[in-house]
Structure 1
Amino acid sequence: MQRERGPVRVSPARAAVVGHPIGHSRSPDLHRAAYAVLGEDIDYGAHDLVEEQLPAFVDARRGDPAWRGLSVTMPLKSAAAACADERTGLGEAVGVVNTLVFRPDGTLLGHNTDVAGIVGAVRAAGAVPGTPRVAVLGGGGTATAAVAAAGGLGAPAVDVFVRAPARAGRTVEAGCRLGVPVRLRAWDEAPGALPGYDVVVSTLPPHGADDLAERAAALAPATTGVLLDAAYDPWPSALARAWTRAGGAVAPGIDMLIFQAVDQIRLFTGRGPGEPLPREQDVIAALCTAVGRPVRVVPSPPRT
């Protein structure tokens, strides 16, 4: 029997991932595996939507007791933030949301679980000092989550390498709201500079850092840092190969997807962000297995 949390919920419940294109999404595999472990009767699907279609899709499900929430992927994260009646503090600070939670009163809560996904993937990949030097590649929507994650990892500031600084204004603003100062740096400086960072997060699309990887490989730098490349298809990316050859640890974007899904699953099962799940390690193991990844364990944050 499904456990009730507050107002009675309809069973089976419903949730889904939305975005465009959506056929490649691994979210259905992840969520279905988690709900099987938890014994939750939640039917999780996928809907191909463009930005103009999202508000009507959301409004049609407001107040429906069967609907728990939506996982939101590109290019809908900004539109999803506009659909939310309320955003969590983190969702408000980052400015984009990847999660919409349908509440019993018909309102929607917006949250960003990409931040937890980045933190979890980085910590599972390698050792991170208590106050790491963090660099981010790219200044788009995912970069704002990466800046928030840098703060979560203990970074006092973050360097963001961009080709077009004028397009990174939202990332700089997010850093101000989060108390994590952002310094924009020229893209051409990245090949020589990145090996000196403890954590590097690439938020670029597939092949977006191939030129950087080629130039970095020519310099043959050494590093002990952790690279998270948010692009996971094809894998390994040119940047991941170059980073591995230089001696660094690498996390693919699929690990970020795994750990951000854990926080969504909390919300879709009536819990709060960060609230432990029953059998949480078993849930994480099931998610890893569902997408063909080794079981990941996140160590406790280092003491400072």
Structure 2
Amino acid sequence: MRRPFAEVIGSPIHQSRSPAIHNFWLERAGIDAGYGATEMMPERLTEYFSVRRADVNWRGCNVTMPLKQAVLPLCDRLDPLARKIGAVNTIVRGPDGSLTGHNTDAAGFLEPLAADLRQPHLFRMARILGTGGAARAIVAALADRNFTLVLAGRDPAKARALLDELAPGGDHHAVPLSHFAGATDFSFDDRSQLLDLVVNASPLGMIGQPPLDFHFSHAPPGSIVYDIVTSPPRTPFLEQGAAAGFRTVDGLSMLIGQAAAAFALFFGQAPDRTTDGDLCAMLAA
């Protein structure tokens, strides 16, 4: 009998670190199961899920670009957070072959910011670049934690609609990506007791993608610079942010956080997070 397995689907998928992460945890836990990767485009999803529903060994899949919204109508159920965000990054097969969509991106994104978010602040602001499925989770998560948001996208109208949907009623702003490309002489006020984030929630800067064009004069003093791209782990955006004196958070932090929640859904137990140091060293090698 074949052993249980899960996988990640999307395109391009060859650069995904998810198989390495899940198989690392499976080995440490002594679970006889596997985790793979399958190249997938939207037009093949119906056939793919038809086959996977019938496979009792298939525990589910993680979903990456460009599929996080395309899978929504193919799920039988959505958990409340996935329904609110309008994007799915984890699908779990039930014993009857039913598919339940979850979103663990929000929790994964917030995990490396937990200590900062426990502190009181007079004001919180995030500049978010990108309007895809991951950006939806980030917008929803930060709006719930009282951030004022500036959302940048190639289509500002799409960014505005996303803010109106996921963060209604706030004093949020939608701008074109080009807004952040050139230098600004804006004079930031005293940033004490404030929390500022600058987040690349787009694939820009990923291997094989165009670079992210961001001028760090737009980042307030004391900002945290966060890039969700995982390949390469240290993107030019993060390197430039570090060189400008900003604290940085790389995409592996979010990836491991969201993967831990997905692992528990797939395999029925939480992974051993005491081995995160070894895992990060392996992924960075």
Are positions 1:261 and 2:251 aligned together?
no
174, 179, 184: which one aligns with 2:174: 184
State the distance in 1 between where 2:219 and 2:67 align: 38
Between the aligned partners of 1:52 and 1:59, the Cα distance in structure 2 is 13
Report the AA paired with residue 175 of structure 2. Answer: R
Instruction: Give matches, 1:285-300, under 5 Å.
Output: 285-292=277-284
From 5, 30, 48, give the equivalent of 1:14.
5
Q: Which residue of 2 aligns with 1:150?
A: 142
Q: Distance in 2 between matches of 1:82 and 1:258?
A: 27
Provide structure 1 residue ranges, at least 5 long, that are not aligned to the other structure.
Answer: 1-9, 272-276, 294-304
Counting only pairs closer than 5 Å after superposition, residues 73-88 of structure 1 correspond to structure 2 as 73-88=64-79
Do 2:160 and 2:173's aligned partners in 1 also have CA atoms closer than 8 Å? no
Matches within 5 A, 1:239-258: 239-258=237-256
Query: Do the aligned residues in 1 keep the contact of 2:26 with 2:34 (CA within 8 Å)?
Result: no
Matched residue SS, 1:119: helix
Amino acid at match of 2:30: G
Offset of residue 289 of structure 1: 3.5
Three-state SS of the structure 2 residue aligned to 1:212 is coil
What is the rounded CA distance, in whole Å, between the counterparts of 2:148 and 2:135 in structure 1? Answer: 14
165 and 243 in structure 1: CA distance in 2 versus 1, 3 angstrom threshold: same
User: Partner letter of residue 159 of structure 1?
Assistant: V
CA distance in 2, matches of 1:210, 1:20: 20
Between the aligned residues of both structures, percent identity stands at 31
**Native 8 Å contact 2:11 2:65 kept in 1:** yes
How far apart are the structure 1 equivalents of 2:73 and 2:281? Answer: 34
Match of 1:133 in 2: 125
Distance 1:254 1:225 in 2: 19
Q: Distance in 2 between matches of 1:194 and 1:226?
A: 18
Q: Secondary structure at the match of 1:134?
A: strand
Q: Deviations over 1:35-94 (max 9, x none)?
A: 112222221111111111112111112143211110111111112222111111111111
CA contact (8 A) 2:157 2:174 kept: no
Which one is further off, 37-46 or 168-177? 168-177
Q: TM-score, normalised by structure 1?
A: 0.77
Query: TM-score if structure 2 supplies the norm length?
Result: 0.82
Q: Alpha carbons of 1:149 and 1:176: their partners in 2 closer, same or farther (altered >3 Å)?
A: closer
How much does 1:12 deviate? 2.3
Is the alpha carbon distance of 1:183 and 1:107 closer, same or farther for their aligned partners in structure 2, counting shifts above 3 Å?
A: same
Alpha-carbon shift at residue 229 of structure 1 (Å): 0.8
The amino acid across from 2:279 in the alignment is L
Contact 1:134 / 1:155 at 8 angstroms: preserved in 2? no
Number of equivalences: 271
Give 1:204's aligned residue: 202
1:110 counterpart = 2:112: no
Q: SS at the partner of 1:284?
A: helix
1:285 to 1:13, Cα distance in 2 relative to 1, 3 A: farther
| Unpaired stretches in structure 2, ≥5 consecutive residues | none
Deviation at 1:266, TM superposition (A): 1.2
1:24-43 residue pairs with structure 2 within 5 A? 24-43=15-34
